């Protein structure tokens, strides 16, 4: 079913819509446009929890722009997929940095737009990249934030069959074989820990871009990066919450976006300070790129400073300041 232009007008298509609206707010500083762009009761899930109103998005955007006035961002990828005939779900990978400096970080924002208005958003920022670049004390940075916690759809059970219907609603059955391959990889490699099988799904010359602005290469690098995350939560599990697919030569062909939740007790390696034996709830996103039937690239993000703040709160560490969830 073709997508009704009411979903993205006055722009050419959802890709154009996402790139131009984001630039208008974040680059041109038209913060007031959020009132036209978001529904008053729009919901945003981020690393620190859930926002349930547009006003807090406006306030959070203003504070974030003010805190980093010299940074700008642009679209690195937009993976959009229809949700019915008047809505779409986009997975927007944003590359941010100073115009003439090498330091960059990434954000992925998954946005559900219905008839041109934001209804629900899931967003993760690589806050670790900037912290490492500045030489911040990561634990002190985490203690300066308060983890609010999640509400709404994020607390509901994981979708039974995300190929058919995810958190954002029913999806078209596009590129089924590639979607099944990604889901099989997540279950086999991430959840069942059969790390040998990385090479069954990925090209030998794979690239993983992940938190801390790290670029990982080759299957063995991929295995080690996954182990590094899992060793702190050795029994943790990844849930698939949503999926989008899109083919566009502008972004190197076929890509599959996955919104995932990681839940696991912090009882392994104390990479985030003293262990708590309590479960974390991590909002994460991955964008996968296919080449000749195999996975060639993944961008995998979560908010690592927010994860540290969540763990600090479980330990009873008192936050030292307010948190801008957005």
- Domain positions in the chain: 5-135, 173-315
User: Residues 216, 186, 258, CA angle at the centre, nearest 5°?
Assistant: 85
Q: Which two tokens stand for residue 251?
A: 């972004």
Neighbour-count burial for 282-314, b at 16+ CB within 10 Å, e otherwise: bbbbbbbbbeeeebbbbbbbbbbbbbbbbbbbb
**Digit-coded pLDDT (tens) for 189-227:** 999 999 999 999 999 999 999 999 999 999 999 999 999
Tell me if 217 sits within 8 A of 242, measured CB to CB.
no
Q: pLDDT above 70 covers what percent of the chain?
A: 99
What lies within 8 Å, CB to CB, of 309 at 6+ separation is: 48, 142, 143, 145, 146, 147, 319, 323
CATH number of 5-135: 3.10.450.50
Helix 304-315, helix 127-134: angle, nearest 10? 90
**Digit-coded pLDDT (tens) for 145-201:** 889 999 999 999 999 999 999 999 999 999 999 999 999 999 999 999 999 999 999
Tell me the CATH number of domain 173-315, given options 3.20.20.140, 3.30.465.10, 3.40.50.300, 3.10.450.50.
3.10.450.50
**Residue 202's closest CA among 294, 289, 299?**
294
Average pLDDT over the chain, rounded to an integer? 95
**Digit-coded pLDDT (tens) for 40-87:** 999 999 999 999 999 999 999 999 999 989 889 999 999 999 999 999
pTM above 0.85, yes or no: yes
**Same topology between domain 5-135 and domain 173-315:** yes
């Amino acid at each position: 079913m073709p997508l009704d232009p009411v979903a993205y007008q006055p722009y050419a298509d959802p890709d154009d819509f996402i790139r131009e609206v984001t630039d208008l707010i974040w680059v041109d500083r038209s913060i007031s446009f959020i009132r036209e762009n978001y529904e008053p009761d729009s919901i945003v899930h981020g690393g620190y929890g859930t926002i349930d109103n547009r006003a807090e998005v406006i306030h959070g955007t203003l504070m974030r722009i003010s805190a980093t006035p010299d940074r700008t961002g642009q679209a690195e990828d937009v993976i959009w997929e229809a949700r019915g005939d008047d809505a779409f779900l986009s997975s927007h990978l944003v590359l941010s940095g100073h115009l003439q400096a090498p330091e960059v970080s990434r954000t992925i924002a998954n946005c559900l737009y219905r008839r041109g208005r934001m209804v629900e958003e899931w967003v993760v920022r690589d806050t670790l990249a900037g912290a490492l670049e500045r030489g911040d004390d990561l634990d002190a940075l985490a203690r300066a934030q308060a983890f609010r916690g999640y509400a709404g759809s994020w607390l509901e059970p994981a979708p039974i069959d995300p190929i058919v219907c995810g958190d954002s609603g029913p999806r078209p059955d596009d590129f089924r074989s590639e979607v099944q391959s990604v889901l099989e990889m997540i279950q086999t490699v991430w959840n069942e820990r059969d790390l040998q099988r990385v090479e069954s799904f990925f090209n030998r010359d794979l690239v993983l871009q992940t938190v801390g602005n790290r670029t990982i290469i080759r299957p063995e690098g991929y295995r080690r990066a996954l182990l590094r995350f899992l060793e702190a939560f050795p029994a943790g599990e990844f849930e698939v919450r949503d999926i989008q697919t899109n083919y566009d030569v502008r972004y190197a062909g076929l890509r599959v976006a996955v919104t995932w939740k990681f839940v696991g007790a912090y009882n392994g390696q104390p990479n985030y300070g003293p262990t708590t034996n309590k479960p974390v709830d991590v909002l994460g996103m991955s964008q996968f790129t296919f080449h000749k039937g195999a996975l060639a690239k993944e961008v995998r993000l979560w908010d690592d400073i927010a994860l540290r703040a969540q763990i600090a709160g479980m330990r009873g560490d008192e936050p030292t300041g307010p948190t801008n969830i957005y």
